[in-house]
Structure 1
């Protein structure tokens, strides 16, 4: 039996830092929409501002995802993680103090800027500190993100009713502050030089294991080198990098379209009440929880990348078809649950970022490229779906457009399933990395 380093031994702070950071990335985004009615009761919220707040996350994630490698090269991955969490916490507190629609929009953009940086940093942190437990840590990481997706909508309104909407919004900043503490302790104590897998000791694909024998690790600590612009530029020429970006962009498209429009869709096509529509949205989010638990293990340990991708695509098609043609107040629960399984694409994309790069510095560049390109792709569709609905008077064309995204993504997902790293692909095409 292969010996492995215990998860917590010497890495307890990194575990806590990664999980609390992951929780903050989603709770910061999901905590506002349930409270818009409470906010609107205090000051005017124009529809245009609400629309901009809904469009802002993928746009900010793309912009700050591109900037993050530059910050990481200058300050180091742990310092930038602390900066991102402090920005999130500050934005959450200030959003709770908003006095008009513009201040609500500006503070939301500040939050999304921090989240955009955190999105890029967590997968490389996993690769740096847990090269022998990538599958387990990505499972914990994506599970924390799933919990923080459906938990804020469930508790936001009761908290607002008990303590006011300002407290309900600002409270989530506590988790961002708590997430920064472990990294600050590690920086102060000089414990950030994690032992990682040396580039020449990484097993050649397809054998990318979840657990690596300590004998295969380097004998001393290796400081993670910052990603260079050369690495990022090379990714632009690699089909593998673009394929992972499309998988991520498809996942983001399904998520942001659903959070923006699923309640309205099920209300119109199935005739459910607004309260039930909210529960159906929570059901959609909850369906990603089992995916977060299983996908990293299935991909890292059993090499099931393409199988997981096909399950996500087929579930998306079936769910959309059911919503479009066979929905009523009973069957809509089944179709939303099935459609929610498209959420397997999100943890799949995160795992691919970690295992499709040999080193943490390459993973930072790949993470930035994939998430920035993916969020740019996803930013188009929430607005497009709304425009199509407004101009056609129904959801048929909008749902067909969402289905077309799944069609376009299919060949890219199959390419992303190839068991090789971006370095391998570059060397096969152009020579030495």
Structure 2
């Protein structure tokens, strides 16, 4: 009788066994909240991607007018079309080193500023040499930004790389096609000057500088 009571008391007072998780299993963490800094970074990425091709495709749309306006020979015009891949190769190699020293955000911000300055200066540079130099400045900004954008996406959105890469790619394609499609109509609507038609794209590049200014202060961006 006493043994039975003791056994019953033992069953009653023994705490229930805690179920342990499997070896190596970790609790699932909630995705990181999108604070204002993250949203600003998304806006900056989209605007930067929009500016990675208009400097090239807008010139292609008005190349004949530019040749006539500057008195370019066929050989110089051919040199002009070879400048983009040359700048991509030369300045793109510098991007990782610059990012390690100044931070990716600061380099992209400087890249957007270089695009703005190059696009604004090249129609009014006063000659073929100045036009080529200003184009090279814009292409330098494009080259370093083009290399660093995927790095920034992977660093800040490791759980959304596919989504952010798709958004970035869509913005890049939109900027490419828009510059090719609307540069000539906008030029005609604003009086027909190829200088105005090319300089207009500096406004889009200037808008891209703004979200990167606060991001440039963070060396980790």
Contact 2:61 2:183 in 1 (8 A): yes
Deviation at 1:23, TM superposition (A): 0.8
Cα distance, 1:95–1:131 mapped onto 2, change above 3 Å: same
1: distance between equivalents of 2:37 and 2:107? 22
1: distance between equivalents of 2:215 and 2:75? 43
Contact 1:91 1:107 in 2 (8 A): yes
Partner residue, 2:198: 169
Partner residue, 1:46: 73
Task: Kindly name which structure, 1 or 2, has the bigger radius of gyration based on alpha carbons.
Answer: 2
Aligned residues: 192
TM-score normalised to the size of structure 2?
0.80
Contact 2:51 2:175 in 1 (8 A): yes
State whether structure 2 residue 107 is matched by structure 1 residue 107: no
2: distance between equivalents of 1:24 and 1:57? 14
Partner residue, 2:22: none
Aligned-partner SS, 1:182: helix
Partner residue, 1:179: 208
Contact 1:7 1:133 in 2 (8 A): no
2: distance between equivalents of 1:10 and 1:86? 21
Partner residue, 1:140: 167
Partner residue, 2:62: 35
Cα distance, 1:40–1:133 mapped onto 2, change above 3 Å: same
Deviation at 1:42, TM superposition (A): 2.3
Match of 2:185 among 158, 164, 167: 158
Aligned-partner SS, 1:12: helix
Contact 1:130 1:137 in 2 (8 A): yes
2: distance between equivalents of 1:123 and 1:60? 19
1:66-101 CA distances to partner (integer Å, 9 max, x unpaired)?
Answer: 111221122111111111111111000011213222
> Counterparts of 1:29-428 in structure 2 under 5 Å?
29-163=56-190, 164-188=193-217, 192=218, 223=220
Task: Choose between structure 1 and 2 for higher RCO, CA contacts under 8 A separated by at least 6 residues.
Answer: 2
Q: Which runs of 5+ in 1 are unaligned?
A: 194-222, 225-433
Contact 1:49 1:105 in 2 (8 A): no
Cα distance, 1:8–1:172 mapped onto 2, change above 3 Å: farther
Partner residue, 1:285: none
2: distance between equivalents of 1:105 and 1:169? 14
Contact 1:8 1:15 in 2 (8 A): no
1:234-274 CA distances to partner (integer Å, 9 max, x unpaired)?
Answer: xxxxxxxxxxxxxxxxxxxxxxxxxxxxxxxxxxxxxxxxx
1: distance between equivalents of 2:211 and 2:77? 35
Deviation at 1:112, TM superposition (A): 1.1
TM-score normalised to the size of structure 1?
0.42
Partner residue, 2:53: 26
Deviation at 1:22, TM superposition (A): 0.7
Deviation at 1:30, TM superposition (A): 1.1
Deviation at 1:4, TM superposition (A): 2.6
User: What RMSD in Å do the two structures reach over aligned CA positions?
Assistant: 2.0
Q: Which runs of 5+ in 2 are unaligned?
A: 1-27
Deviation at 1:186, TM superposition (A): 2.9
1: distance between equivalents of 2:91 and 2:212? 21
Cα distance, 1:155–1:111 mapped onto 2, change above 3 Å: same
Deviation at 1:148, TM superposition (A): 1.0
